[in-house]
């Protein structure tokens, strides 16, 4: 373990004692006129024994370099590690996936910085979910909207759900429009019929389309997290996931020239687009540098 890794691990385990030599240097330093400006301190919880025994002290450190290279800070890295620890300790199946495939867990932590989102459960912008036995980073509806706005794909976008007792009309012709009159105060709006998205492009153009409930249900049924039966965002936030499904589908119809290489990488990892569509975008970004190549995730292994 490197000196840097040991220092971070000490932080996870609540060891705030500095090295004796550094303490001595501070005492002997004659420059005491100006107080030292220290970065924002972050208190990390003690790493649970369950994670230490599984070698996660090394795994949690592995994405640090790439996380910071993507624009995150050490404080943000520590905070997201805390949220990741909570995820792992609260879901035995997710923990088993991370233990079996640590490199995928590491990649998921990297994508938090790359997207600028957070695992903070109160904000519900992103999650760590099991995907074919591996840990996968997944943005929520609100997180995906945030990505699209910051990526310059749209100036504004929104997805809405339509229920049986709503008044809903779609008009196509010389003037295209959606007329939706939901009764937000009704105790029961009836069964879900589907939803729609509306977006304003950077040039001011407005566009929209609709998605029936059957297609939302079909996409939900393909989710590996749902198939696992071990819990997924579809269980905790079904309406938000339905809206995200509509937003993901909308994105296939939106211009993509404004996407950065980093955002394309996130979309690739999230797996929201069909392979043939993605290849065209990927070719356009192959000449751009990838911030993540310098951080070899193959070096991170579970210590047994």
Average pLDDT of span 16-32:
47
Confidence class of residue 267 from pLDDT cuts 50, 70 and 90? low
Q: Give the least confident one: 8-12, 80-84, 200-204, 251-255.
A: 8-12
Residue 68, domain member (yes or no): yes
Q: Do 89 and 122 belong to one domain?
A: yes
Domain of 88, in residue numbers: 3-13+42-139
Task: Report the chain's C-alpha Rg in angstroms.
Answer: 23
CA 77 to chain centre: 13
Of 119, 139, 159, the one marking the end of a domain is 139
Q: Do 54 and 128 belong to one domain?
A: yes
Q: Do 119 and 172 belong to one domain?
A: no
> What is the structure's pLDDT at 1?
52
Domain count, the chain: 2
Cα distances (angstroms) measured from residue 71 to each of 62, 150, 192, 258, 259: 16, 14, 40, 19, 17
Model pTM score = 0.65
């Amino acid at each position: 373990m490197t000196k840097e890794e040991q220092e971070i691990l000490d932080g996870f385990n609540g060891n705030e004692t500095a090295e004796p030599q550094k303490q001595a240097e501070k005492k002997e330093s004659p420059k005491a006129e100006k107080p030292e400006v220290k970065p924002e301190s972050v208190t990390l919880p003690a790493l649970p024994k369950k994670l230490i025994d599984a070698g996660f002290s090394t795994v949690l450190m592995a994405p640090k370099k790439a996380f910071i290279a993507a624009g995150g800070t050490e404080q943000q890295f520590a905070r997201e590690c805390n949220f990741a620890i909570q995820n792992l300790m609260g879901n035995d199946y997710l923990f088993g996936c991370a233990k079996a495939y640590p490199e995928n867990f590491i990649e998921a932590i990297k994508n938090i910085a790359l997207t600028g989102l957070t695992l903070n459960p109160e904000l519900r912008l992103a999650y760590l979910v099991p995907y074919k036995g591996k840990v996968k980073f997944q943005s929520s509806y609100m997180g995906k909207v945030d990505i699209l706005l910051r990526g310059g794909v749209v100036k504004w976008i929104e997805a809405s759900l339509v229920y049986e007792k709503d008044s809903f009309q779609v008009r196509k012709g010389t003037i295209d429009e959606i007329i939706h009159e939901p009764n937000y105060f009704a105790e029961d709006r009836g069964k879900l019929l589907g939803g729609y998205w509306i977006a304003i492009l950077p040039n001011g153009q407005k566009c929209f389309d609709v998605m029936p409930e059957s297609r939302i249900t079909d996409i939900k049924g393909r989710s590996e997290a749902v198939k696992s039966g071990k819990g997924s965002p579809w269980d905790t936030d079904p309406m938000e996931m339905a809206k995200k499904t509509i937003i993901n589908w909308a994105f296939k119809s939106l211009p993509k020239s404004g996407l950065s290489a980093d955002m394309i990488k996130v979309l690739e990892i999230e797996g929201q687009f069909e392979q043939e569509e993605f290849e065209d975008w990927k070719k356009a970004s192959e000449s751009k540098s990838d911030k993540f190549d310098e951080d070899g995730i193959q070096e991170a292994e579970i210590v047994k």
